[in-house]
Amino acid sequence: MKKLINQVGVINTLPLLLSVIAIGIISFLLVTSTAPFSKGLFKALNPKPVSNAATTSFFENFDGPPTTPQRWVPPGWDLTLSPDNDLAFTKDYSSFPVPNCGGGTLFTTPGYEYEYGVFKCSNHLMTKINEGGYGFMLLTPPALVDFSQGEAVIKWDISTLSSSGRDWQEFWVSPPDYSLLLDAERWGQNKPQKGIQIKMEGGSSFTGWVYNNFNGTEITTNPADISQIVVPSDSRLDTFELHISRTHIKFGIPQKNYWWVDTDVADLGWDKGIFHFGQSSYRPKLPCTYNSSGQEDINGIWNGSCGPSTWHFDNIGINPAIPFTIIRGDKNLLNSETSNQVSFPQSAPAGSRLRFTGTANKIEVSFDNGVNWIRASIMPQPATNPEGDEHPDDYFVPNIPPGTKSVLFRGERWWGGDWTVNNIAIYAINFY
């Protein structure tokens, strides 16, 4: 070693070399004890990076054309749609004018398409469901709500006029390990083990709920009708805010200083969550369909006095936020009669999860073109919704192979029909 060191002219004594190395190590430890670890080093020491280092804010204003309603496939977002095979978001919209969008109307789409129901127009986003049964759509921005250091605020602008009491808005925040793709007010089957829900009631008011161990506790403090706060409108958007800390939740319209929820809660036990928002609907024409006797009738004649609401969204903001990656698959309906392969536009980062919804006795996936198969797990959900029942389940596969761009699926029939898979996406969250 002395010979080698002499050759490079750096030092010619081993003891001095060791002293220099020791001093260097001590200096490194002193510096890194007060500065953030580098990504590679920190991952070697601890698989969970310090979330504060990634904390930022999130904002989406949907600016830009078109000036008439056009289907919107959210880039980098997730879009979850009701996976029931008897639902279609393609029924005739031509009789429903769309306000706040150049006076246009939504078009009638040919055939069966899941994703027609979310539209962009004139610098904002719209949702609309014209459904003969139950339907919902939930949008997920690629940012965690982070209230680990105190309060986090979620803001959004939204229209307030409802055309039917059977058509409503929903907003959810749940920790990543408990967040359900099927979060929606639906049969009471798909409730998160932990989470926060803000729900429009009857198209005219809001309630707040906290979920723990699948049980919901209402936290509404002021149940006023929206019309008492603002003049309901489908062309004017009002700003709503949801404030969350581990021990306090507040929701309302800040410009009017009105809060449907403003209350302390027991410590949530979690401080980061995935945010969903969207629309649910159950036969929105029913209140205005009548039979020959003048009675409300699902099979009666629609009198045109009400119908599916168009909800307008804009300026979605989360602060503080932790960005994460969502990669949606190229197909949204798989069964035994379709191709069983789903491709993704980019490779899965290390530590990603595969997420999807499905109805089956079991569902398996393969990441190596069918050589090996892995049974997908079900997200934590109430015991009243077992796998193989008629209601769809939330599935996931953790730690999928880094670089994954294609997945094969196969399933077993449930008692009522063929297996199905929907809403397929890859979630890459450093938080895991």
What's the CATH number where 235 sits? 2.60.120.200
Q: Are strands 377-378 and 78-81 parallel, antiparallel or unpaired?
A: unpaired
Cis before 323? omega within 30: no
One domain, residues 386 and 337: yes
- What digits encode the pLDDT tens for the residues 95-109? 455 666 765 555 544
For residue 349, pLDDT beyond 60: yes
Count of structural domains, the chain: 3
Q: Do 336 and 304 share a structural domain?
A: no
Shared domain check, 273 and 151: yes
CATH of the domain at 405: 2.60.120
Residue 44 has pLDDT above 70, yes or no: no
CB atoms within 10 A of CB 250: 19
Say what the pLDDT of residue 351 is: 93
> pLDDT (tens digit, 9 = 90+) per residue, 314-337?
999 999 999 999 999 999 889 999
Residues 26 and 64 in one domain: no
Whether residue 84 has pLDDT greater than 90: no
Q: For the chain, what percent of residues have pLDDT higher than 70? A: 73
Instruction: List, in sequence order, the alpha helices (H) in 368-420.
Output: none
DSSP string, 208-257: EEEEETTEEEE--S----GGGTS---SSS-EEEEEEE-SSEEEEEEGGGT
Average pLDDT over residues 420-425: 94
Q: Among 88-97, 260-269, 407-416, where is mean pLDDT lowest?
A: 88-97
- Give the per-residue pLDDT at 100: 64
In a domain, 50, yes or no: no
**Residue 185 pLDDT level (bands cut at 50, 70, 90):** low
Residues 303 and 341 in one domain: no
pLDDT one-digit tens code per residue, 235-293: 899 999 999 999 999 999 999 999 999 999 999 999 999 999 988 877 777 777 767 77
Cross-strand bridge partners of residue 427: 326, 353
Centre a 10 Å sphere on the Cβ of residue 408 and count the other Cβ atoms it contains: 18
Residue ranges in 10-96 assigned as alpha helix (H) = 14-32, 39-45
Q: What is the pLDDT of residues 200-245, one digit of tens each?
A: 987 789 999 999 998 899 999 999 999 999 999 988 999 999 999 9
Report, as an integer, the average pLDDT of 62-69. Answer: 81
Mean pLDDT of 300-305: 71
Residue 387 has pLDDT above 60, yes or no: yes
With respect to residue 45, please indicate whether it lies within any of the assigned structural domains: no
User: pLDDT (tens digit, 9 = 90+) per residue, 24-37?
Assistant: 443 433 333 333 32
Q: Report d(CA 312, CA 185) in Å as an integer.
A: 20
**Mean of the per-residue pLDDT values of the chain:** 79
Residue 41 lies in a domain: no
Same domain, 308 and 389: no
- Does 368 share its domain with 315? no
Residue 42 lies in a domain: no
Examine the domain organization and report whether 171 and 28 are in the same domain.
no
Task: Tell me which residue range forms the domain holding 370.
Answer: 327-428
Residue 283 lies in a domain: yes
Question: Which domain-ending residue is among 323, 345, 366?
Answer: 323
Q: Percent of the chain at pLDDT above 90?
A: 49
Please say if the pLDDT value at position 378 is more than 70: yes
pLDDT, residue 183, reads 67
As a whole number of angstroms, the distance between CA 12 and CA 369 comes to: 59
141-169 burial, b at 16+ Cβ within 10 Å, e below that, comes to: bbbbbbbbeeebbbbbbbbbbbbbbbbbb
Helices and strands, counts by H and E, the chain: 3, 29
* Residues in CB range of 422: below 8 A, 6 or more apart: 81, 83, 114, 332, 333, 334, 356, 357, 358, 392
Confidence tier at 94 by pLDDT (50, 70, 90): very low
Which among 323, 341, 362 is the end of a domain? 323
Average pLDDT in the 78-89 region?
62
Residues 259 and 285 in one domain: yes
Query: Residue 115: its pLDDT value, please?
Result: 55
Is residue 378 one of the residues assigned to a domain?
yes
In a domain, 46, yes or no: no
Lowest-confidence region among 45-54, 320-329, 414-423: 45-54
Domain boundary among 288, 307, 323: 323
- Cα 264 to chain centroid distance, Å, stands at 25
On whether both 154 and 269 belong to a single domain, the answer is yes
Reduced to 3 states (helix: H, G, I; strand: E, B; else coil), residue 87 is: coil
Residues 331 and 318 in one domain: no
Residue at 47 is within a domain: no
Q: Is the pLDDT of residue 431 over 70?
A: no
| Main-chain dihedrals φ then ψ at residue 400, nearest 5 degrees | -70, 160
Place of tokens 């392969």: 341
Token pair 């506790």 is found at 217
Between 291 and 148, the more confident residue is 148
Q: Looking at the structure, tell me whether residues 104 and 238 fall in a common domain.
A: yes
